[in-house]
Amino acid sequence: MTLLERYGARPVVHPSAYVAPTAVLAGDVEIGPHCRILFGAVVTADGGPVRLAEHVVVMENAVLRGTRRDPLRIGAYSLVGPHASVSGAEIGTETFLATGSVVFNGARIGDGCEVRVNGCVHLRTVLPPGSMVPIGWVAVGDPARILPPDRHEEIWEVQRDLDFPGYVFGVDRDAPAAMVRMMERYARTLGHHRGDSIIREPDFE
């Protein structure tokens, strides 16, 4: 595994956990008892902490990110599938995030939910306990509406007011050169990675 110190914080891995040799843990990350972090997974505290409770399984090439505004917390006995992406969200216990699923900043997913293959839980969306997002569908809003991707206009009707550019980047969607401003800010923030340092040995509890 590669462990990185970031912003003065180091990952903490419980002795009963397993982290694959090619996984990366960076910054204020805590991996709980009996967790499994498989090959190519990235668990990174980009300004906010990441907390995995016990028996969380993170499959190959998944990306988990805590942000300054929204820490990432995943409840016990949950699975994050291969190539899934989860940023700054609250994930309940016994939750299944399938292959290719995406969970955006500020989302809250209740206990026992399923987000099936390539499903999406959008920005600031609240998914009640026991909910299911079908294959390729999108959950959006609070309370969540769960819609197929071909109903884009209905998704956008809710998504627009959730304001991804403003919430994540602090930029007005309609401002001149909005994309330029967003990427300048994002590049500046991600530039902090230049200060990361490799830790030779993990910090165990």
Does position 157 have pLDDT exceeding 80, yes or no? yes
In tens, the pLDDT along 140-151 reads 999 999 999 999
pLDDT number for residue 7: 86
Domain ranges of the chain: 2-204
* 2-204: CATH architecture: 3 Solenoid (2.160)
Average pLDDT, the chain: 94
One DSSP character per residue, 6-64 reads BTTB--EE-TT-EE-TT-EEESSEEE-TT-EE-TT-EEEEEBS-EEE-TT-EE-TT-EE
* pTM assigned to the model: 0.92
In tens, the pLDDT along 27-84 reads 999 999 999 999 999 999 998 999 999 999 999 999 999 999 999 999 999 999 999 9
